[in-house]
Amino acid sequence: MFDKSTRRDFLKRSATVATGALILPQIIPSTALGMGGKLPPSDRIVMGGIGVGSQGTSNMRDFLELKNQVQFVAVCDVDANHATRAKGIADKANNNTDCRIYGDYRELLEKEKLDAVSIALPDHWHGLIYTAAANKKLDVYGEKPICRTIKDGQTIVSAVQKNKIIWQTGSWQRSQSNFHHAVELVRNGRIGKIKYIEVGLPNGNKGIGTPPVKEVPAELNWEMWLGPALKVPYRGVSHWDWRWILDYSGGQLTDWAGHHIDIANWGAELERTGPVEISGEGVYPRDGIFNVPVEYDFLCKYSNGINMRVANSAKLVHGGGATWYGENGWINVDRGRIGASDPKILQEVIGPNEIQIYKSDNHWQNFIDCVRSRKEAIAPIEVAFRAISVALLGEIAMTTGQKIQWDPVKEEIIGNPMASRLLSRPYRQPWSLPTI
């Protein structure tokens, strides 16, 4: 058995052998490590999956598609059916029946010898579990949004930095060519200096009223599902639909911030700062247990003069995605499309002496490559935190009906103790967020 650090050094050495000398400092060809699936089992990254519902198993499959670069040896879920299904996926790939099942992430982290974890949980659990994984010095592929509150996010960022782990956020649009192309055009001034940005995120959910309280199914540990959130009765709403309830999510706004706000920030070089003033309005459901805003529209002002409007897509001319407006035109990018004020802009080729932005063709491969090389992944924790911060500050402006002043350096709301309370959500005992 390797201990952690020696195993990691070994992985790093084998990566260097496999890829030869790296020419571009941040870029590893995604094909370099695949090698036709020829890596011996000892070179594979040993992973665990925490939260293996729909997104968690989807990520597992994406890792396993990388052909023998990864093996999952343990999975954890508060729903025994999820865990059993995920074990089936892992066992099939491993050609054995050895994948361990856990219902409590603390036990998995304590008992398993892993290189990395893939984590996909409702947002209210992110603060605790991302921090715990980082403190175990495990590299993390973690789903966006990376936090439910600013305070959770600050704690996670500190834990990732302090433990020097490799972090990849599930903001996979960064590894798609149309988004990369749009960002590179914007960064190279093809529409001139950026003045204004619009980010269109999906329109809100439908309501379901107030479903009756139900008996918790035998496979589900409801107490553990709730974790640090306030105790509420089980109404048959947990998986997937948690994203329509404010205790666990901010709705489409926070769910998609890690995609289109992240891309907008990337293009406009706002990915390591934040707005200074945020104001706007939301439309909230009038009744029922789903209570996230169904329409939202807020404006963020940045100290460099750029304004960013974030709204549900039906409110915007270009609909969904990120739209940068520069002195000489606009570029819009969304899933499956890219557009510009002048289509010729999109034909532009970025020359060798121009700005080359980080390139990844496969988001999961990029994470594995970085686990081996110890280089920063394409969606590191700091930029993920800045993307979700925009949405969380918008949420605070809409919740309070107030204009919020934000210090993006100190990461504090200025002169508004009332709004500042919404920067955190106290945890229900016995849970508490550690101080890093």
Partner 1 sequence: MKKQYLIVLIIAGLLTIFNACQKGTAYKALIVTGQNNHSWKTSSPILQQLLEQTGLFTADIAKSPEKGGNMDSFNPDFSKYSVVVIDYNGDSWSEKTKTAFVDYVNNGGGVVIYHAGDNTFPEWKEFNAMIGLGGWGNRNEKDGPYMYFRHDSLIVDNSAGIGGAHGKRHEFEIRARNTEHPVIKGLPQRWIHGADELYARLRGPGKNMEILATAFSDTAKGGTGRDEPILMTLSYGKGRIFHTTLGHADDDGGPALECVGFITTFQRGAEWAASGKVTQKIPYDFPTMTGSSLRPDYKELTLEGDLAKIAAYDITKSTKYFSDLQSRIRYEAKTTAEYQAFEKQIIKVLESADATDDGKKLLIREISWMGSDLSIPVLQELVKKSQLKDAAEFALARLQPVK
Q: Does 37 bind partner 1 (CB under 8 A)?
A: no
Figure out which of the listed residues 315, 318, 374, 375 binds partner 1, where binding follows CB under 8 A.
315
Q: Which of residues 137-156 bind partner 1 (CB under 8 A)?
A: none
Residue 215: CB minimum distance to partner 1, A: 15
Q: Does 414 bind partner 1 (CB under 8 A)?
A: no
Figure out which of the listed residues 286, 352, 353, 410 binds partner 1, where binding follows CB under 8 A.
286
Q: Whose CA is closest to 323, among 198, 175, 195? A: 198
Side-by-side strand order, sheet with 116-119 = 100-102, 70-76, 45-50, 116-119, 139-142, 167-169
Strands (E), 284-336: 295-301, 307-312, 321-326, 329-334
Q: Which of 238, 312 has the CB closer to partner 1?
A: 312
Residue 315: CB minimum distance to partner 1, A: 7
Q: Does 399 bind partner 1 (CB under 8 A)?
A: yes
Q: Does 410 bind partner 1 (CB under 8 A)?
A: no
Figure out which of the listed residues 314, 328, 355, 414 binds partner 1, where binding follows CB under 8 A.
314
Q: Which of 220, 422 has the CB closer to partner 1?
A: 422
Stretch that binds partner 1, among 121-129, 164-172, 337-345, 420-428 (CB under 8 A): 420-428
Contact pattern from residue 349 through residue 388 relative to partner 1, giving x for each residue in contact according to CB under 8 A and a dash for the rest: ----------------------------------------
Q: Quick one: tokens of 381? A: 């924790």
Q: Does 204 bind partner 1 (CB under 8 A)?
A: yes
**Total of residues contacting partner 1 (CB under 8 A):** 38
Q: Does 415 bind partner 1 (CB under 8 A)?
A: no
Q: Whose CA is closest to 217, among 100, 78, 83? A: 78
Q: Does 236 bind partner 1 (CB under 8 A)?
A: no
Q: Which residues pair with 153 in a beta bridge?
A: none
Residue 397: CB minimum distance to partner 1, A: 10
Rounded to whole angstroms, the Cα distance separating 129 from 289 reads 26
381-400 vs 150-163: helix crossing angle, rounded to 10: 170
Q: Whose CA is closest to 308, among 379, 177, 408? A: 408
- Alpha-helical (H) ranges within 164-314 are 177-187, 222-226, 252-256, 262-268
Yes or no: say if 299 and 308 are a contact pair by the CB < 8 Å rule. yes
Figure out which of the listed residues 41, 233, 343, 352 binds partner 1, where binding follows CB under 8 A.
233
Q: Does 424 bind partner 1 (CB under 8 A)?
A: yes
Say whether 333 sits in a helix, a strand or coil. Answer: strand
Rounded to whole angstroms, the Cα distance separating 341 from 124 reads 40
Is the previous residue joined to 41 through a cis bond, with omega within 30 degrees of 0?
Answer: no
- Which positions lie near partner 1, rule CB under 8 A? 203-207, 209-210, 212-213, 230-231, 233, 283-291, 294-295, 312, 314-315, 399-401, 418-419, 421-422, 424-426, 428-429
